Structure 1
Amino acid sequence: MNCLQLVLLLTVFMQQVYSHKFAMRPLDILISQMSKELQEQQNVIDFLERINPSALITFNNVGPACSKALQKISNGFQVQESDAMHVVDSWGTIDTGILKGSFVFPGRYFDCIEVSNQFYKGKHCTVNVEVDASKTAAIAFDDTLELTVGGCFPEVCTKLEITSLFGEVPSNMTFNVKCPRDLQEYNIYLYVLTFVTLILLTLVSLASVYDFVTSQVKKEPGHPNTENSRYKLMVQCFSLQRNTRSLFSSQQNKDEISCINGIRAVSVIWVIWGHAYLIPIKFADNALTMMDILTTSWSLQPVINGTFSVDSFFFVSGLLVCYHGLNAIKQNGNGINYLAMLVYRYIRLTPSLGSLILIALAGPLLQIGPFWEEKSVFVSDQCRSYWWSNLIYVNNLFPPHMPDQCCDWTWYLANDMQFFMVFMLLLPWLHRSPKIGLLLACMVFLSCVVATFVLSIMTSQQPQVIFRTIKVKQKQLFTEMTDRTENPFRTDIYTKPWSRISTYLVGVVTGFVLHNKNKIYITGLQATFGWAACIICTYISIFSLKPSLEIVLPLNLWLAALYNSLSRPLFGAALAWLTIACVKGNGGLLSTFLSNPAFQPLVKLSYATYLLHPMVIWMLLATRETRIHYSTRTISMLFISSCLLSGILAFVFVMLVEAPAMKLAKIFFIKRKPVKKLD
């Protein structure tokens, strides 16, 4: 009896033991029910045992081309022919570790596709089985038990022919085969991506050569020092040496808030850290073990609550636009071009976002691997349908369901753009009548907090981390975290602007306070109280749910709604005190660390890094033909490699797209110096 048989058969009695009707069942009825369930379990086991290379030998009901190829493999295997042996050897097998979340057995993908001769060519397909626990006794997996096994088949065999190799499917399970699809429809996106990349490389190369030559000519004696024309400035926007110097420059303006650089850099690293732990769940052979570690370790609570890293971005964005916006109005004589602000922001952000969408569209052709096609095709197809919603920054609202969004991690950009537009309505009031401006900001803040609270009550929402942990520990939601089926929290609350603007408004108020920082004096007692409040707010936001996670206990509905509506603004309040304390000299070593000039290059790469890092992690995982085993060392290596590779690609991204777009926007839309400081 193998591991899978032990799991399925022993849980028959366990289901009866834990049934509320156990005591009321007569013995004969109980025995009859258990016998029926045992037979159903045996049917499942018999079918699962057929998912192995023997299906290539006992074939029937297939077409002549597939039959001929299978016959060649069967005959070749009997005489130990190399290609046939590789076909059989590349199959995945159901192994140990199912109770710890080892549900995927991909086999040897590259060994399979490398098989090629005049009779057949290898094709890697996955066989997916879902056992319905409502008709069986698989209590260990509650609703369903899903298994995926990789197999190697002749390329000429169709999906239907491969399905027929495994015979009749038991009534209490669903079964499907996924094979590589024809990717020719994605060629157009690859051609466009290649063309755009070549154009950008040409522009950067020519501009760099031009900039080098003109800089050498200026050094010659007697050469007149002429002013730069607009056309010359446009060319210099693409200069590699200029953009590189700008990227690695640590020079700061006197009115900059230096600790913000550290907060932004740490936030980006936090995002990658969280994704390095959570994205690999589908690719792990002990995913449930890792969930136990995440929910019971104090040091890993920032990982499982990593969504607060995005709130750091919202806070910083609100602070900077308010702080620099008020400074711009003051220096510009009460006049500011609001349309130029909006256009500049759109042009600065959108070329990089558009480039990411183009990469996503061509994604299925950029890599190969056992899971790459499935993931990349899914993302590409969503972008084919909804790319336009990203470019007008409404993708957090339409499509309404997060799994349908193009590059769904870019929901943050849509919120940030919408918040910026709200801020432009507040900025004149904050300048002309600060009391009315602050009152309006507080009214919007309170309205959104109340709306989140009411919506959470109406939809019975648990905090996302509790919702996921309960489902995963009951082994019900492994697919939700991997196949991205619907999570109500993400759709109803997580990505919606009325639930996320509160932290942004905390940043706006903080920016207003720092604009008048010369009027602020913090006593020692006030500093002590401020740091205590900061620690308490951070604890409530990130660490307070740990007891519920450990015992897998949902919160009271009202308490859950209170957490959903207040945890993020409380975290914003903690960041507000941290920033004010650093600016006013009450930050100590933390202020010294966050204000380190070394963070400046990281900050300038942060936008591109945020856009690219999910694809980098998926590439590192989905192209592996072996599963990853969760451990501190393994995840640390994945995290470090993801940071380094994302940083390298972000540098290329900045040099080709982001830096030229930003400088061109300044030339055409920012005519007055104060407005230039808005970013």
Structure 2
Amino acid sequence: MALKTILVAVIVGVVRCPDVVFGLHREDVKSALLQVVGHSRIPELLEGALGERQQQQQQRNSTKCDLQLQAAVDSMMNYSTGLWALPMFDAWGKIPSGILQGNFYELGSYEECQKFTHYDRKLEAEGQMQGRYCQLSVPLQMKPLGRQETEEGIDFNVRGLPTGSRQLGLTIGTCFPDSCDANQLNALLNGTFSTLFNSSSAHFTCESHLAAIGAKEIVAIIIFSLIVGLLVVSTVYEVYTMLSGHREPCRTLLIFSLYSNGVKLFQMVPRPSADGSQKSNAIDCLNGIRVISMVWIIFSHNYMMLTMSPLNNMLAMYDWVTSYHSMLVLASTVSVDSFFLLSGLLVSWSILRELDKNRRLNLPLMYLHRYLRLTAAYAALILFSVSLMKYCGSGPFWNGIVTLMSGSCETYWWSALLYVQNYVNPKKICLGHTWYLSVDMQLYILSPLIVYPLWRWGRKFLIAIGCLILVSMGSVMAIFLIENIRLAFVAAGTGGADRMSLTYYPTHTRMGAWLIGVILGYVLHATKDRQVEMSRRTVALGWILSLGVMLAIIFGDYPLQQPDTYMNHSLVVDAFYESTNRVVWASCLGWIVFACVNGYGGPVNTLLSLSIWQPLGRLSYSMYLLHLPLQAMLTGMVKNSVHFGDVDAVHKFWGDFGLTVTLAVVWSLLFESPIVGLEKILFGSLRKSGESKKSVADDKSSDVATDSTASLPQKQTV
């Protein structure tokens, strides 16, 4: 009976419950809940703390926080008051179970605290009371995890934590009147709670009140509303002209049309099958590579966000790291180099075709086209992040996640829109994943300096490109050795930021894969009119080596990631792996593209060239922009501890992926497709011949033009 009473009390969790619940009287439910809440001695502790605080403030007036806390404690200590404060204390977290498995979070009931409100006319001085959610951080007096410095040297037999801090501690959700802030609560903590926790480092952090809508929020609402309004008007106009049948609609007025742009977005153009005698002008396999790489990135970031969640089994991460399948996530950064390869390939291919045709480049037009195509959707996301994102959710970690994602955008939005933040503010990237755009744009700006000499002097200039690749690889190796950087997942808290800013974000350390793409584009351009003949032995050897080396790159990272042994091998191993794996990966992927283009792809080319990849390929830029902010927002809205496991991660991934694709469709129709229409108006005189033919190549160019990782070949070929 007692257990049943407690369970009902916990499930119901309200004070104003009916007189009888599941056969139990209301007072029985409240008494059982009071026992559960009172077991933590929260009211008694607060009463003692308030007593001490009142003695310290005898010569000063009590604050509103003191009065409201005292009223809440009196309610709990005196049944005659109706126990109106019971929901506030019920929202407190309790000491969690499974601490030895890494369960350091007991977040309580965030929503119960937020919904708590009370007003009593007898307590006019206290005023209306609402709940404010706070977190109590209690450092644990335990030997921290991670490699330990000892008198004998370094002990490598201790597991490490993949965070910047090695200090273990409990995070317990609490609920107080909203008149109390963290400073006032910490004053109470220092008086009474510190003796309970036997720690002077315990402290409260409280959720701040959501700021009122200001000027930038109003501007953002107006801009987004205007764009949505244009979309509605343009769509209605097109539908009306189609139904009336009186006249052809004005193409200028269809720029924002949901119907026209939607048809183009989801259009799938059948690709002619290669018969081995005629070479297609399309590189059909790029769509499949692009989409699969994008899915891989979203999948890996899904795991990253899961590790940032309040886990109830944190130590399970280390068992996961020791499994070989974890390398599919930990070594997934090479998926970015797949995009660099595609970008270099398309830039080289497009510029070489333009030079063959006109023997010169219109650089202002080329750069303007690129900037417009990428910046509209990107700028819209930055605007949303700094203005409206904070109003889109709530949770114990919501404010921290929003600050993590968009806090730097308040200061460095300009460097983001100028595509220089990988050098200007590498440790405070606005929308952290968009570092790639800076690198890609910088390489695109520099591309004529590399591709033009390649067109002018041919193979002779390949030596110079090879030297640039070696310089890029050498710079990575030198930085690793000089800065003593390790690759291990558990070493991310020691020099992790330096590793990202020194070797992961800079253009000069990431250009190797892009330059491989430039070489591949040159080779494909040089052989565009003929099939490259290769023997079966050569083809088989190429496929075996490329696939084998790619698998070796993924799983070769395994010994470098092991928590207990990653320091056992020389630093040179980490430096060599990191400086070579990206270029080698791009080279192997380049072979796959080369084989597919020349008719040696077999079932791989059939898979990568499926028409189904075309719509997803057009969405890939918006997917790239939106996926990480979306995943971060979903993480910030978590209100309970989360279990870490592969099944949980895969299940979460499909939800993230579905939402990402859905929002990408909306984002593309709002901010990408209209830019394509505007460009046709601005640069229409240069494109009439290409558009009048309605060729498959025109459709193909739109397939790749909306992808941030592509080089937007449409701007050079028209």
Q: Normalised by the shorter chain, which TM-score bucket?
A: 0.7 to 0.9
Answer yes or no: is the 8 Å Cα contact 1:83–1:115 preserved in 2: no
Partner of 2:67: 68
- Between the aligned partners of 2:637 and 2:458, the Cα distance in structure 1 is 55
- Work out whether residues 211 and 236 of structure 1, in 8 Å CA contact, stay in contact via their aligned partners in 2: yes
Verify the 8 A CA contact 1:469 1:552 in the aligned structure 2.
no
Q: Shift in Å at residue 289 of structure 1?
A: 3.7
In structure 1, the residue matched to 2:235 is 208
Match of 2:226 in 1: 199
SS of the equivalent of 1:586 reads coil
Residues 457, 120 of structure 1: alpha-carbon distance in 2 compared, 3 angstrom cutoff = same
Q: Which moved more, 1:141-150 or 1:510-519?
A: 141-150
- In the alignment, which of 349, 354, 378 is matched to residue 328 of structure 1? 354
Q: Any conservation in 2 of the 1:186–1:361 contact (CA below 8 Å)?
A: no
Residue 86 (1) aligns with residue 87 (2): yes
| Structure-2 residue corresponding to 1:109 | 110
User: Any idea what the Cα deviations from partners look like across 1:428-457, whole Å, max 9, x if unmatched?
Assistant: 222222224423322221211111121221
| Aligned-partner Cα distance in 2 for 1:121–1:654 | 42
Amino acid at match of 1:651: V
Question: Contact 1:317–1:504 at 8 Å: present in 2 too?
Answer: yes
Is the aligned partner of 1:409 residue 2:433? yes
Deviation at 1:185, TM superposition (A): 6.3
Q: In the alignment, which residue of structure 1 is the partner of 2:202?
A: 175
Instruction: Give the superposition deviation at 1:216.
Output: 4.0
Q: SS in structure 1 opposite 2:117? A: coil
For 1:283, the equivalent position in structure 2 comes to: 309
Misfit runs of 4+, over 4 Å: 49-55, 80-83, 131-143, 168-173
The 1:499/1:295 distance shift into structure 2, 3 A limit, reads same
CA distance in 2: counterparts of 1:294 and 1:309, whole angstroms: 21
From 659, 675, 680, the counterpart of 1:661: 675
2:553 corresponding residue in structure 1: 541
Aligned equivalent of 2:646:
632
Contact 2:531 2:598 in 1 (8 A): no
Distance 1:98 1:84 in 2: 29
Which stretch of the first structure deviates more once superposed, 241-250 or 424-433?
424-433
Question: TM-score, with normalisation over the residues of structure 2?
Answer: 0.79
Find the aligned partners of 2:374 and 2:685 in 1 and give their Cα distance: 19
Which amino acid in structure 2 is aligned with residue 676 of structure 1?
A: Q
Asked if structure 2 preserves the Cα contact closer than 8 Å seen for 1:66 and 1:156, the reply is yes
Structure 1 residue 557 displacement after superposition: 1.8
Match of 2:296 in 1: 270
1:59 to 2:49 alignment: yes
Deviation at 1:568, TM superposition (A): 0.5
Paired with 2:577 and 2:213, the residues of 1 have a C-alpha distance of 44
Aligned-residue offset at 1:541:
2.2
Q: CA deviation at 1:548?
A: 3.7
Range 374-383 or range 55-64, more displaced: 55-64
How far is the alpha carbon of 1:133 from its aligned partner? 6.5
| 1:99-155, Cα deviation, whole Å (9 max, x unpaired) | 333222221111100001214100001122345768999988884213322110100
- Aligned match of 1:469: 490
Cα RMSD after superposing both structures: 2.8
Counterpart check, 1:240 vs 2:264: no
SS at match of 2:408: helix
Is residue 608 of structure 1 aligned with residue 622 of structure 2?
yes
* Residues 629 and 460 of structure 1: CA distance in aligned 2, closer, same or farther (over 3 Å): same
The question of 1:294 aligning with 2:308 is answered no
Cα shift at 1:94: 2.8
Q: Which residue of 1 aligns with 2:135?
A: 126
Distance apart, 1:173 and its partner CA: 5.2
* 2:378 maps to amino acid: L
Counterpart of 1:441 in structure 2 is 465
CA distance in 1 between counterparts of 2:514 and 2:44 reads 60
1:507 corresponds to 2:517: yes
Q: Distance in 1 between matches of 2:46 and 2:674?
A: 56
Q: Distance in 2 between matches of 1:136 and 1:549?
A: 16
Contact 1:101 1:287 in 2 (8 A): yes
Shift of 1:547: 2.8
How far did residue 524 of structure 1 move? 0.9
Q: State the shift of 1:592 in Å.
A: 1.2
In structure 2, distance between residues paired with 1:397 and 1:50: 51
Q: Which amino acid aligns with 1:261?
A: N
Paired residues of 1:53 and 1:151 also in contact (CA < 8 A)? no
After the TM superposition, which residues 518-557 of structure 1 pair with which residues of structure 2 at under 5 Å, given as runs? Answer: 518=530, 520-550=532-562, 551-554=564-567, 555-557=569-571
Could you give the per-residue CA deviations for residues 595-616 of structure 1, whole angstroms, max 9, x where no partner exists? Answer: 1110111111111111111121
| Number of corresponding residues | 605
Structure 1 pair 625–51 and aligned structure 2 pair: CA distance change class (3 A): farther
For structure 1, the 5+ residue unaligned runs are 1-48, 472-476
2:552 is the counterpart of 1:562? no
Q: CA 1:444–1:667 in 2, change beyond 3 Å: closer, same or farther?
A: farther
- Retained in 2: the 8 A contact 1:267–1:310? yes
Q: 2:714 & 2:422 partners in 1: Cα distance?
A: 28
Per-residue Cα deviation, 1:454-481 (whole angstroms, up to 9, x for no partner)? 1221111222xx1x2356xxxxx4xx8x
Amino acid at match of 1:388: W
Change (3 A) 1:101 1:552: farther
Q: Residues 677 and 421 from structure 1, CA distance in 2 versus in 1: closer, same or farther, beyond 3 angstroms?
A: closer
Matched residues in 2 for 1:592 and 1:53: separation? 69
1:251 counterpart = 2:269: yes
**Is 2:43–2:73's contact at 8 Å kept on the other side of the alignment?**
no
- Code of the residue aligned with 2:221 in structure 1: it is T
* Unaligned runs of at least 5 residues, structure 2: 1-38, 55-61, 120-127, 149-157, 161-165, 272-279, 691-712
Describe the shift of the 1:82–1:376 C-alpha distance in structure 2 as closer, same or farther (beyond 3 A).
Answer: farther
1:338 aligns with: 363
C-alpha displacement of 1:81: 4.3
* Structure 1 residues 452 and 153: CA distance shift in structure 2, 3 A: same
Identity of aligned residues (%): 27
Instruction: Quote the Cα distance in structure 1 between the aligned partners of 2:331 and 2:43.
Output: 43
Instruction: Give the counterpart letter for 1:122 in structure 2.
Output: G
Q: Secondary structure at the match of 1:283?
A: coil
Q: Give, in whole Å, the separation in 2 of the partners of 1:138 and 1:186.
A: 47
Q: TM-score, normalised by structure 1?
A: 0.83
Give the 3 Å change call, closer, same or farther, for CA 185–322 of structure 1 in structure 2.
farther
- Answer yes or no: is the 8 Å Cα contact 1:186–1:364 preserved in 2: no
CA apart distance, 1:53: 6.1
Closer, same or farther in 2 for the Cα pair 1:519/1:282, shift >3 Å?
closer
The equivalent residue for 2:481 is 457
SS in 2 for 1:306: coil
The whole-number CA distance in structure 2 between the counterparts of 1:283 and 1:629 is 9
Structure 1 stretch 364-373 or stretch 185-194: which is displaced more? 185-194
Distance in 1 (alpha carbons) for counterparts of 2:214 and 2:168: 37
Q: CA deviation at 1:287?
A: 5.1
Gap change, CA 1:285 and 1:249, over 3 Å in 2: same
The amino acid that maps onto 2:370 is R
Q: Which residue of 1 aligns with 2:705?
A: none
Q: Distance in 2 between matches of 1:290 and 1:310?
A: 27
Taking the aligned partners of 2:229 and 2:143, their CA distance within structure 1 comes to 61
For 1:448 and 1:666, the matched residues in 2 are separated by 38
**Superimposed CA distance per residue, residues 353-383 of structure 1 (whole angstroms, 9 cap, x where no aligned partner):** 1111112112222211111112113433311
Report SS of the residue matched to 1:183. coil
**Structure 2 Cα separation of the partners of residues 523 and 173 of structure 1:** 74
Pair 1:584–1:83, CA change in 2 (3 A): farther
CA distance change for structure 1 residues 537 and 82 in 2, over 3 Å: closer, same or farther? farther
Contact persistence 1:318–1:507 (CA under 8 A): yes
Per the alignment, residue 399 of structure 2 pairs with 373
1:659 deviates by 1.1
Letter in 2 for 1:609: M
Superimposed CA distance per residue, residues 37-71 of structure 1 (whole angstroms, 9 cap, x where no aligned partner): xxxxxxxxxxxx99956544433227431122112
